[in-house]
């Protein structure tokens, strides 16, 4: 079974803090994704990566950056957390050329 894990299920941070969300997949997938999920808005793509050290902006990249130093790991970074970044963050992975994505359990982030 594909397994995608995220470093934290719940996180509370203060405005202005730098926040790291980690995602690890164990299926040697080329593609990895970060989404945020908000009520009434569904899932919105923040960034994705199709290879090590490669990244592309999604629909809402502002205020975020990413890092992919190893194939299995994809990190989402909030450089200076703000209250409007309070959300559920979901990581996903998929193989190159494949359409199915496999999701982690999510990290619920609260920024105070």
Is 1 one of the binding residues for another protein (CB under 8 A)? Answer: no
Q: Does 48 help bind another protein (rule: CB under 8 A)?
A: yes
Provide, rounded to whole angstroms, the least separation between the CB of residue 27 and another protein. Answer: 14
The size of the interface with another protein (CB under 8 A), counted in residues, is 22
Is the CB of residue 104 less than 8 Å from the CB of residue 23? yes
Distance separating alpha carbons of residues 81 and 17, to the nearest angstrom: 5
- Using rule CB under 8 A, residue 11 touches another protein: no
Residue 68 or 104: the one with the smaller Cβ distance to another protein is: 104
């Amino acid at each position: 079974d594909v397994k995608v894990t995220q470093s934290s299920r719940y996180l509370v941070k203060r405005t202005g803090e730098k926040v790291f969300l980690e995602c690890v997949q164990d299926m040697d997938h080329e593609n990895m994704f970060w989404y945020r999920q908000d009520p009434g808005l569904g899932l919105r793509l923040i960034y994705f990566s199709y290879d090590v050290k490669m990244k592309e902006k999604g629909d809402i990249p502002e205020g975020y950056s990413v890092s992919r130093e190893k194939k299995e790991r994809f990190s989402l970074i909030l450089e200076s957390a703000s209250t409007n970044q309070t959300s559920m963050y979901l990581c996903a992975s998929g193989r190159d050329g494949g359409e199915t994505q496999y999701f982690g359990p999510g990290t619920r982030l609260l920024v105070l």
